[in-house]
Amino acid sequence: MFALLTMTSLTILCYVACKWLYQRFPYAFFLPLVTSTVFLLLILYTANIPYDDYIKGAGWLESLIGIAVVALAFPLYKQLTLLKKYRLPLLIGTAAGLLVGVLSTFLLTSLLGFDKEIIASLLPKSVTTAVALDLAESAGGQTSLAAILVTIAGITGTILYPFFCKLFRIDHVVGRGVGIGSASHAIGTAKALEFSELEGAISTVAMTLCAVMVSIIIPIVVFLWF
C-alpha cells in the first residue's frame, strides 16, 4: 500500500508540475509527457528506486489510458456534422498516411537488415498502445519494445507536427488533423485539441480508422513477407 501511494503520488505530482511548466512555456519540447518522463527517470535513478518497484506502485495508471481514449468521443460527437462533411477526405487521407507509415517502415528496416522481431515491433508504431501491443505480439514482436516505439512515435510526431505544417503550408484543419492522428495516435490528438476542437475530433477519427486499418494490413504484410 505504501508503494502504491508513494509511486502514484510521485507520478501525479510530477505530471502536474510539468503541465504547469508547459502552460508557462508552451514549446514542443516541454510537452508534459516528455518532461515528466525525464524527471521521473532522474528521480528513480537518483533515489536508486528499481523500475520494478516503481511499476508495482504506479502501474495501475496504465488502465486510465482506455478511459482517456474513450473521452475523446466527446469532441467527436460535438463535431459530428462537420466530420460527415469531410468523411471522404478523412478516409482517403488516413489510408494514405497509414500505408506510407507501415510500408516505409517495413522497407527501410528490411533494407537495413533488421530481424523479424524488431520489424514486427516497429510496424504498429503509429497506432494507439493497446492495439499496437496486440499486433506486435501476434506478428512475433516484443510488446515492451513496441510500447517504447509507440511512445517515441507519438512524442516525435507531436514535436514536429507544428513545424511540418508550417513548412509545407498545411493550413486546412482536415489535413492537419489527419496527419497527426494517423502518425501520432492519442498523444498527437491531445496536441491537436490545443489548436481547435475540430482538429482534435478529426485527429480522433484518423487515429481510430488507423487502428482498424493497421489491424488488417500488418497481418497481410507479415504473412506475405515473413
Give the model confidence (pLDDT) of 157-172 as tens digits: 888 888 889 899 899 9
> 536508486: which residue's cell?
48
Please report how many Cα atoms fall inside a 13 Å half-sphere around the Cα of residue 147, on the Cβ side.
Answer: 8
Does the pLDDT value for residue 1 go beyond 70? no
Task: Read off the pLDDT of each residue in 23-27 and give the average, rounded to a whole number.
Answer: 87
The confidence band for 28, taking pLDDT boundaries of 50, 70 and 90, is confident
Give the model confidence (pLDDT) of 186-216 as tens digits: 889 988 988 998 999 999 999 988 988 988 8
Does the pLDDT value for residue 147 go beyond 90? no
Percent of the chain having pLDDT more than 70?
A: 99
User: Nearest to residue 149, comparing CAs of 125, 173, 169, 179?
Assistant: 125
**What pTM was estimated for this model as a whole?**
0.86
The domains of the chain are located at 2-64, 73-225
Rounded to the nearest angstrom, the gap between the alpha carbon of residue 121 and the centroid of all alpha carbons in its chain is: 14
Integer Cα distance of 101 and 125 in angstroms: 9
Does the pLDDT value for residue 71 go beyond 70? yes
